[in-house]
Amino acid sequence: MILPEWAHIVARLLVPMLIIFLLAPVGMMYLTWLERKVVARIQNRFGPNRVGPYGLLQPLADGIKMLTKEDIVPAQADRLCHFLAPVLIVVPSLYLFTVIPFGPEIVAAPLTTGLLFFTAIGSLGTVAIFMAGWGSRNKFSLLGAMRTVAQLVSYEVPMVISLAVVPMIAGSLSLPEIVQAQEAAWFIWTPWGFAGFLLILTAGLAEVNRTPFDLPEAESEIVAGFHTEYSGMKFALFYMAEFLNTLALAALLAVLFFGGWLGPVLPGAVWMAVKTFFMVFVAIWIRGTFPRFRVDQLMGFSWKVLIPVSLANLLGAAVWFLLQGLWGVLLSAGFVATTFVVTTRLWLRPRPQISRKWVHYT
C-alpha cells in the first residue's frame, strides 16, 4: 500500500517523537543510577549495589515504589494547579529532544530555528514550578517557587547572550548546520567558544537546578522547596524533568561546542552519545565537588559576573571573526579574561561595615 505524501511527513515527525517519549523515562532512570554511582565513588561509598548486579535494577525498583505510593494532596490546595504543574514541567523537557541532532539525519524536527526553539521551550518550566508552589498552598513551597523564578530569570539572561555567539559565527540557528560549521575545527578550541562553553554550562546548571545552584530545593533551608507537598508519581515527574533537562543541556553543549556527531571511525550517533554522556559526567562531577551557593551569592554571581562576561564574550567573538588571526585570538581572550577578573574582584570585595553605635541595648 502506497501512503500519500502527507502520511510520510506525519510518520517522519511522529515516529521519532514517539521513540523519544518512550526512551526518555528509561534514560532518566539510568541517569539516576549513574549519578548515584559517581557521587558515591567521589564520597568513597559504593552507591546502589543490592538490587540486581551493580545495582542496575535499583532504578526500576524506585520507579515501582513511586508508582505505588499514595498521592497526597493538601486539603487547601488548588487542585487544578497542583495536578497540572508536574505535567507541564515534564512535557517541555521531552520536547527539547525533538530538535537535538543525534546524527546527520537523526533529528525529529530539523527546524531552521532549532536553537531558538530550544531556548523558548526550556524556559517554560519556570511557569510550572511557580504553579506547583502556588497550588500547594504552603508558604515554604511558595518561597521555593519564588526563589526559583528569580533564579531562572536571572540566569536566562547570560545564557541567552552566550548562546547568541554561536549562531553569530556559524551563520545559522539550525542545530545541524551549526554542527556542520565545525567540520574544520570545533568551536571549543576558539577563545570565544571556550568562554561560551563555560558560561552556558554554568548558567545551564542554574537553569536545571543542579548543584551548586540548587537553591529551590535547599532542604536545609526551606524543607524541600516547591515540591514539598508532592508525593508518588507527581514527585517522580519533577525528578524526571530535572534529569531530562540535564541530559538535554549536555546534548546541546555537545552540538554547539564539540562538533555534535562529528568524529573519526565511529558512527555519528555513537560520537554524539559519547560527548553527551561526558557532559553529563561533568555535571555529576560538579555536584559531588562544589558546595551550594547562598541565595545572595547566587543572584550576585549572575548579575555582577556572568552577564558582563557574556557581553564581553560577544564582543570578543566579533573581534575574532573580523581580525581572523593572532590578534583576533589575543583580543578575544583578553576581553573575556579582563572582564572576569574585574567583575569577580568587585563581586568578592569585602562589604563596608555598617556602624551600630546608634543601637541601644536594654
User: What tens digit of pLDDT does each residue of 296-347 get?
Assistant: 888 889 999 999 999 999 999 999 998 888 888 899 999 999 999 999 998 8
167, 178 in Cβ contact below 8 A?
A: yes
User: Binning pLDDT at 50, 70 and 90, where does residue 350 land?
Assistant: confident
What is the Cα–Cα distance from 310 to 289, expressed in whole angstroms? 25
- Quick one: what percent of the chain has pLDDT higher than 90? 33
pLDDT at residue 292 above 70? yes
* 3-state DSSP assignment of residue 36: helix
Instruction: Report if residue 361 sits inside a domain.
Output: no
* Residue of higher predicted confidence among 264 and 360: 264
pLDDT averaged over the chain? 86
Grid coordinates of 338: 579582563
Q: Per-residue pLDDT tens for 14-56?
A: 777 777 777 777 878 888 899 999 999 998 888 888 888 888 8
User: Binning pLDDT at 50, 70 and 90, where does residue 218 land?
Assistant: low
- Please tell me the total count of domains within the chain: 1
At 328 the pLDDT is 87
Instruction: Report if residue 10 sits inside a domain.
Output: no
- Quick one: what percent of the chain has pLDDT higher than 70? 93
Instruction: Report if residue 3 sits inside a domain.
Output: no
Instruction: Report if residue 53 sits inside a domain.
Output: no
Instruction: Report if residue 173 sits inside a domain.
Output: yes
Q: Which domain holds residue 343?
A: 69-348
Instruction: Report if residue 181 sits inside a domain.
Output: yes
pLDDT at residue 90 above 60? yes
Half-sphere exposure for 2 (CA within 13 Å, toward CB): 2
CA 275 to centroid of chain Cα atoms: 15
pTM of the model: 0.89
At 361 the pLDDT is 56
Task: Report which of 226, 213, 209 is spatially closest to residue 291, judged by C-alpha positions.
Answer: 213
Instruction: Report if residue 359 sits inside a domain.
Output: no
Q: Per-residue pLDDT tens for 238-270?
A: 888 888 899 999 999 999 999 988 888 888 889
| Residue 179 backbone dihedrals phi, psi, to 5 degrees | -65, -45
Mean pLDDT over 159-172 rounds to 92
pLDDT at residue 97 above 70? yes
At 258 the pLDDT is 93
Instruction: Report if residue 303 sits inside a domain.
Output: yes
One DSSP character per residue, 227-269 reads GTT--HHHHHHHHHHHHHHHHHHHHHHHHHHS-TT--SSS-HH
